[in-house]
Amino acid sequence: MVIQPKIRGFICTNAHPVGCAVNVQKQIDYVKQHGVQGQGPKNVLVLGCSTGYGLASRIVAGFGYGANTLGVCFEKEASETKTATAGWYNTAAFHNKAKDAGVYAKTLNGDAFSNQMKQDVIDIIKADLGKIDLVVYSLASPRRTDPNTGEVYSSTLKPIGGSITTKNLNTSKRIIDEVTVEAASDDEIANTVKVMGGEDWELWIKALKDAGVLAENFITTSYTYIGKELTWPIYGHATIGKAKEDLDRATQVIREMTADLNGEAFVSSLNAVVTQASSAIPIMPLYISALFKVMKGDGTYEGTIEQIYGLFTDNLYAEERRFDEGGHLFQNYKELEDSVQQRVQQVWDSVQTETIDEMTDYVGYHNEFLHLFGFGFEDVDYGADVSPLAEW
């Protein structure tokens, strides 16, 4: 079939297999070109491995350090008439490249929150890898089924304490307008923490430790975004912010739980980038478009693979780590510099519909959005007839 992007609101409902493979290859090329120095992981488990920061983590581990990688994701396979999800194609491409490079890669597709998935992963580790020395927790899901009670929890993206009305870049209409978001209830706050907080990360580490498949001196990290004043109303000081705070609680629990292994647990604070998740959050399309304009002008812009490469080489596996005031591994320090935030604020205050292209890098934002689904690459013929099928 000929596959063209089908965009509905803030999502793209299809994906291009060739374009997704190009996206994966570009990230692999970046890692190979820059290389890595010193010690790194050998056996890596990536929970949420098929897109965004999770995929980048797998690429840096596998193609930077030559690590064996075991991944977990939840993606839909293609049919003869319908494309697979982008994450499916990304994983297929990663497997193909890993096979060519002689690097171990195995991926399980299913509910990462379930007890059965945890057991399946443990069985593979015992059979193939022995012990894991790095666990990356990068799951992003709007809902979660509690593995012990069967209750389903759904997350919300709402402020806490009162509704907010804020400037917004409406990506469907390509205009600057306003969006009002009502305040979250106590139940909505609790449910969001249940879905996006640290409980599942904690359960994964406990299951792996109880099974005896965590190596001495293992490291685990989950990913967060904190931001500054502009994004706090809907991100930091909101339901998702409460969930991210719960990662700090889980970090301490995990450290205590694995003290006998000299285990290390960190929350890593990363840049705002275009992901399927961030595209759905009010404020973020305008904020990221303005941020791109400022940071690209400064020559300090970093996308997903640049951030994760830097996290591994300059921070996570560096002789001296960089921490923010909250004790997180501080990788988004360039974004949060006062001078950068001040200029982003100036764009935010001044931009109107007529000046979107002049004052922001919305074109860059939109291109990054298309890239998530394998579209918008100059070296791909999107008029060609391609098979939507891909296996891994």
| Binding-site residue positions for NAD(+) | 48-53, 74-75, 111-112, 139-140, 244, 273-275
* E strands, 322-367, in order: 329-330
Q: Which amino acid is at 9?
A: G
Spot the catalytic one: 30, 153, 235, 287: 235
**Residue keyed to tokens 């979250």:** 184
Burial 112-149 (b: 16+ CB within 10 A, else e): bbeeebbeebbeebeeebebbbbbbbbbbbeebebbee
Report the alpha-carbon distance of residue 297 to residue 305 in Å, rounded. Answer: 19
* E strands, 78-151, in order: 105-109, 132-137, 143-145
Closest CA to 358 of 302, 293, 298: 293
Lookup: tokens for 318: 């560096």
**Residue keyed to tokens 């949060």:** 336
Q: Is residue 144 helix, strand or coil?
A: strand
**Residue keyed to tokens 């994450």:** 87
Annotated active-site residue 235? The verdict is: yes
DSSP annotation of 50: S
Contacts of 128 (CB under 8 A, 6+ apart): 68, 70, 104, 106
Alpha-helical segments (H) within 258-303: 284-298
Contacts of 241 (CB under 8 A, 6+ apart): 160, 232, 235
Report the alpha-carbon distance of residue 388 to residue 20 in Å, rounded. Answer: 12
* E strands, 26-118, in order: 43-47, 68-73, 105-109
- For the chain, the first-to-last Cα distance in angstroms comes to 21
Q: Which amino acid is at 365?
A: Y
Numbered residues of the known binding site for substrate: 225
Closest CA to 195 of 108, 111, 258, 282: 111
Numbered residues of the known binding site: 48-53, 74-75, 111-112, 139-140, 225, 244, 273-275
Query: Torsion angle, CA of 315/316/320/321, rounded to 10 degrees?
Result: 70
Give catalytic residues, as residue numbers.
Answer: 235
